[in-house]
Amino acid sequence: MKVGDKHYRSIWFDQASGEVQIIDQRWLPHEFRVVDLKTREDFEVAIRDMWVRGAPLIGATAAYGFAVQMALDPCDLSIEETWHILHETRPTAINLKWALDEMRGLLEPLPIDQRADAAMKRAHEIADEDVECNRMIGVHGLEIIKEIAAKKKPGEVINILTHCNAGWLATVDWGTATSPMYHADQAGIPIHVWVDETRPRNQGALLTSWEMNSHDIPHHLIVDNAGGHLMQHGQVDLVIVGTDRTTAHGDVCNKIGTYLKALAAHDNGVPFYVALPSPTIDWTVKDGVKEIPIEERTDTEVTHVQGKLADGTVTEVQISPDGTPGGNPAFDVTPRRLITGLITERGVCEASPQGLAKLFPERAG
């Protein structure tokens, strides 16, 4: 999507330098920094320390990490080690395992001298497939927005609430939750987005707001606690969020706080949709609450916040008393009963085993 007037993906192969490049998201929106990832260790750090984040982008980054490692050392042990080292980086988003399985499955049977080229080719494909999945999510999600618009007065604004950043920065391009928003905007449907700040890391405040600004999409940044109140007062027409792992039964694991938004939406009769490319479905898991591992992150994400000082310096300050420990579960699970529908690249379905099986018969057990 756009940064200024230039089109960017969140990860790409730079022909001139021969390196994989990413936008280092830790500095957004205050500084736009592009960095090269040259070794497997660079990729490991970039995923673990959230220079890149968002389930689909984590998957694409892991695929490129595999490819870079194959160019350095394509032996069997290197394949196995790369799978494990990158898999350790973040536990919840299933796209990571999906991409690593894809790479290992492709590379293991190949002769050693063919592995580097094949790995880079597949990494490019995984990135391109993600872009196309997200574009199609936008095409299908647009129909939902059109339906809601048809029930309103002509020209009336559709208010959409989103949580975290499931935008193009969380994917390779388009975003998942944001793709229907961009498509609606391009179709001339007036929309306005309520952007949850998304404590503790503030992906909404830092990243989604930046994306909305860059594309001139009307939006307001709100505190995480405001959503329920806005829904009670008819100021939210629908909620669209992303997901880090969706179970075969339709439960959705996403950024902490998503569940509370789903409860508030349910209580107020507000449609609650989840947008996902199919690599985000974990077909081996049924009950999300019981089975999905939830990442526990460092408590300094809770006790401290990052921001920009008046002189432009980006810095971090402590907001809690010395000695108060923070608790930091990074994701929660929204049970399928609270979800109106899943928006996938193949269409919109009920959040249920039957709904998913209808769209993905070849995967459903």
Helix axes 94-107, 115-150, angle to 10 degrees: 140
Query: Which residues, 67 to 96, sit near ligand MRU by CB under 6 A?
Result: 93
C-beta of 331: minimal distance to ligand MRU in Å?
7
Task: Kindly state whether residue 56 participates in binding ligand MRU, applying the rule CB under 6 A.
Answer: yes
Based on the residue annotation, tell me whether 282 is a catalytic residue of this protein. no
Residues 271-300 that bind ligand MRU (CB under 6 A): none
Supply the minimum distance, in Å, between the C-beta of residue 193 and ligand MRU: 14
Q: Which pair of tokens denotes residue 111? A: 């002769």
- In the DSSP assignment, the letter for residue 6 is E
Closer CB to ligand MRU, residue 91 or residue 242?
242
Please identify the residue of the shown chain whose CB is closest to the bound ligand MRU.
Answer: 242
Task: Provide long-range contacts, Cβ within 8 A and 24+ apart, for 318-323.
Answer: none
Binding to ligand MRU (CB under 6 A) within 206-245 occurs at 242-244
Q: Which residue has the tokens 């401290």?
A: 304
Kindly state the smallest distance separating residue 85's Cβ from ligand MRU, in Å. Answer: 19
Task: Please tell me the distance from the alpha carbon of residue 340 to that of residue 69, in angstroms, as a whole number.
Answer: 42
Site map (CB under 6 A) of ligand MRU, residues 173-202, x = contact: ---x--------------------------
What CA–CA distance (Å, rounded) separates 119 from 111? 12
Report the alpha-carbon distance of residue 280 to residue 292 in Å, rounded. 13
* Contact indicator for 97, 105 with CB cutoff of 8 Å: no
Nearer to ligand MRU among residue 61 and residue 203 (C-beta):
203
Q: Which of 61, 89, 171, 344 binds ligand MRU (CB under 6 A)?
A: 171
- Both tokens of 308, joined, read 């920009």
CB distance 285 to 245 below 8 Å: yes
The CA-based angle 124-129-133, given to 5 degrees, is 155
Options 28-36, 78-86, 107-115, 163-171: segment touching ligand MRU (CB under 6 A): 163-171
The residue range among 14-22, 40-48, 170-178, 352-360 that interacts with ligand MRU, by the rule CB under 6 A, is 170-178
User: 341, 349 in Cβ contact below 8 A?
Assistant: yes
Question: Whole-angstrom Cα distance, residue 65 to residue 61?
Answer: 6
Question: Shortest approach of ligand MRU to residue 81 CB, angstroms?
Answer: 24
Contacting ligand MRU (CB under 6 A), which of 254, 278, 340, 344?
254
Give Cα 2 distance to the centre of its chain. Answer: 17
DSSP 3-state of 100: helix
- Of 244, 251, 282, 332, which residue is the catalytic one? 244
Among 85, 118, 222, 330, binds ligand MRU (CB under 6 A): 330
Q: Judged by CB under 6 A, which stretch of 54-62, 80-88, 180-188, 351-359 contacts ligand MRU?
A: 54-62
Residue 89 structure tokens: 């980086």
Q: Where in the sequence numbering do the catalytic residues fall?
A: 244
> Footprint of ligand MRU on this chain (CB under 6 A)?
53-56, 93, 164, 166, 170-171, 176, 203, 242-244, 254-255, 330
